[in-house]
Structures are given as structure tokens and as C-alpha cells.
Structure 1
Amino acid sequence: MLNANGLRNVLRHSTQNEHDRLDALIGNFSDLASYRSFLVGSYRFRKSLEATTAAIDFWQAELLLDELAQDLEELGGDSVRAPTAAVFANTPAEQLGLLYVLEGSALGARLLVRRTEALGLSATHGARHLAMQVRDPGRWRRFLDLLESQKDIDLALAVRGAQTCFSAALANFTEVHSEPAQCA
């Protein structure tokens, strides 16, 4: 039987390469243009998960689409086009893997909040979506409790869900970085 740390470790080790690639792709946004690219990638990625997360009945995922749209609007520029493909996670195990990636992103948001503050952004201007991710410090612990409660989870499907989620993030951020800048 697998405990939360066991499943967490399996998911972490199985997606470490994708996680490292995504961190490198996001990079250190040091100006508003690079931060806006991050916002566009984040919006597209989270939009690609919308239908799948709506079908999850055991956890309320936060897509932050309204907050991301407002952040983007405040920083100017054109509307964001839709992601190239939707992400699907059909089984509870795949959904759990996908949620592991989404909920884990809130941990990274703590660091990103500091970066946005250095750019003059805040929870009320330009960085709402990050503020939403860090507002509940107990959310990650509750998610780990959910992981721990899983008794007979199909590990391969959980890993596939997490890898699919990371692949969607990588595809959307790569696409954004290959496009011409959308704002000055």
C-alpha cells in the first residue's frame, strides 16, 4: 500500500525532467514583457485544462482564468488565443496526477509573487492569479491528505495524468515563447 509521501514521491520523480524543463522555460521574468509572456502561457495552459477539471468531483481545482484575464488586461495587449489542444484525464488516477501538478504550482507561486513585486505588481494589480494561489497556505496539506487517502490507485495512470499536465504546460509555454512579442 502506498502512502501520501510514496505517491507524492512517485509523481515527483516521474515528472522531474518535465518540471525542470518548465522551470527553465518560464525562467526569471525580469521585465513586464517577459512576465506578460508568462501570463499568456499560464492562461493558455489553464484554459486547456478547463473541461477536465470541471469533471473532477473529488477536488475543486482552481484554474484562475478570470484572475489571469484581469492580470493580462491590466498589462495591456491583445486578447489571448485559445490553447492548441485540450487536456484530458478520464480516470480518477489520471485526474489525481493532473491535480498534483496544478496544486504543486501554488508552491512555486510563492517565489513568483516576490518576482512580480519587484516589477511593481501586486494582488490588486497584475498579479491576482498568483495571490489567489498563495492565499490558502493549508491547501497543499489538504491535497496531500487526499493523496494519502488513496488506497488502490493505479500508479501508471496517476503518473500519466501528471506527465500529460506537464506536457500541456510545456507545449503552451513553448508556443508563447516562439511567437512574436504581443506587447511593449
Structure 2
Amino acid sequence: MAPVTRCMPPGPPPAHRRLREATRHEHAAAERTAVMQALLNGQLDDAAYGRLLLGQYALHRAWETERAAWLHGELADAGWYYASRSEALARDLADWGLSREDEPLPLACASHSQVVGGSSASWGELYVIEGSALGGQILLRLLEKRFPGHAHHFFRLGQEAGRGTWRTFQSMLDHQLSQLDQQQTAIAAARAMFGRAQRMLEAVRA
């Protein structure tokens, strides 16, 4: 008698693919905000860009403060180097002569995450941040033309990392979020992170 072959149930799709598909709508909505449209169309003026930098600084400083233990503990132990967005933005603000304490959008972007789940939620939020850095390479080229003579440290982070690093991050996501419940928590956190960014972008007057 031939041996009976039992088929194992398939596991969940790779985490990075599920995160991309699940946040497609939120990503598109962020790009449709007035300040992003002005940036993409080359119509962003100095004052609006300054407000955008201040909003981004408030958003990332709040998140890095919330997730400090995870960033310097579990994430570092996993082998991922996180380049501080708030530090890069602080250099940009100094470059433009803006004060880091002059945050016009504290309520729009500094609210804490509403998603529980510890590590899985943190990975989902980081997916949004690292993905935005990669996409920022397109914005960097536009900003260099619009505002030459400035370093644009924040938007240059994606250029420094490159696509090879993004593939490494995707592989790390797949490993860290291998279970369906982990992925579901990460997706909820990623959507919430997009929501925080969306509120900040909508509050910036283009």
C-alpha cells in the first residue's frame, strides 16, 4: 500500500506583502493631501516646507519616544539599525533657522498609538516609517531642485539606505511576523501610523 501523503495547510503570505496590500489605500490618501500635492507639483514655498518639517519632527519625535525601549532593545538585538528621523529633522530645522520647540501641530501628530500588541505593533509602525524613507528618494530629487543649497537630511535617509537595505528589512519583517495574529496586529498598527501621518499632513497649510 502506498504511503498516505498529508498536505500541510499553507501558512500566511509574507508579512511585507500583506502590509503593502493592506495599507495601499492609506498610502494613496497621504499622497493626496494638499501639502504633498504641492511638493510633487513643485509649488511648495519656503514657509510651507518649514511647517512640513516641523510637523514631521513632532510626529517622529513622539513615536521615537513611545517606542524608545523597543528601538534600543528588541529591534537592535534583531540586527536592524534605526536611523533617528527626529535627529535628521532637527538638523533640517537648524538649517532653515527654525526652532525645534516651535511645533504648530502637536495635537495632529503627537497622539500615542492606539494599537496594542507590543513588538508586532512596533514592527507594523516601523514598516510605514522605513517605507516612507524609501519613497522619500523621489521627494528628495524634487526638493533639491526646489530648494537648492539645503541638505534635506530627513529625505536623504532613504537614499543612504537604498533598495538593498529595504529588501533586507522586508525579509526581517517576514521573519518577525511569521504568524497570522502577528501580521494582523502589525497591519492595524501600520494603518494607525498612516492615520497619524495623515492628520499631520492635513494640518500643514500648503
Deviates more, 1:92-101 or 1:20-29: 20-29
Aligned to 2:191: 163
Q: Which SS does the other structure have where 2:156 is aligned?
A: helix
Q: Which SS does the other structure have where 2:67 is aligned?
A: helix
Q: Which runs of 5+ in 1 are unaligned?
A: none
TM-score, normalisation: structure 1: 0.81
Give the 5 Å matches for 1:23-62: 23-25=31-33, 26-29=36-39, 30=43, 31-56=45-70, 57-58=74-75, 59-62=80-83
CA contact 1:47–1:83 (8 Å) conserved in 2: no
Give the 5 Å matches for 1:1-184: 1-4=11-14, 7-25=15-33, 26-29=36-39, 30=43, 31-56=45-70, 57-58=74-75, 59-78=80-99, 79-81=101-103, 83-84=106-107, 85-87=111-113, 90-121=117-148, 125-137=150-162, 138-149=164-175, 150-154=177-181, 155-177=183-205
CA contact 1:112–1:130 (8 Å) conserved in 2: yes
% same residue: 27
CA gap 1:54/1:77 in 2 versus in 1, 3 angstroms: closer
- Cα separation, 2, equivalents of 1:118 and 1:62: 25
Over aligned residues, Cα RMSD in angstroms?
Answer: 2.3
Q: Which runs of 5+ in 2 are unaligned?
A: 1-10
TM-score, normalisation: structure 2: 0.74
Letter matched to residue 146 of structure 1: M
Q: Which SS does the other structure have where 2:106 is aligned?
A: coil
Count of residues in correspondence between the two structures:
174
Offset at residue 166 of structure 1 (A):
0.6
Offset at residue 110 of structure 1 (A):
0.7
CA gap 1:80/1:134 in 2 versus in 1, 3 angstroms: farther
- Cα separation, 2, equivalents of 1:139 and 1:54: 22
Letter matched to residue 16 of structure 1: R
Larger helix fraction of residues: 2
Offset at residue 120 of structure 1 (A):
3.2
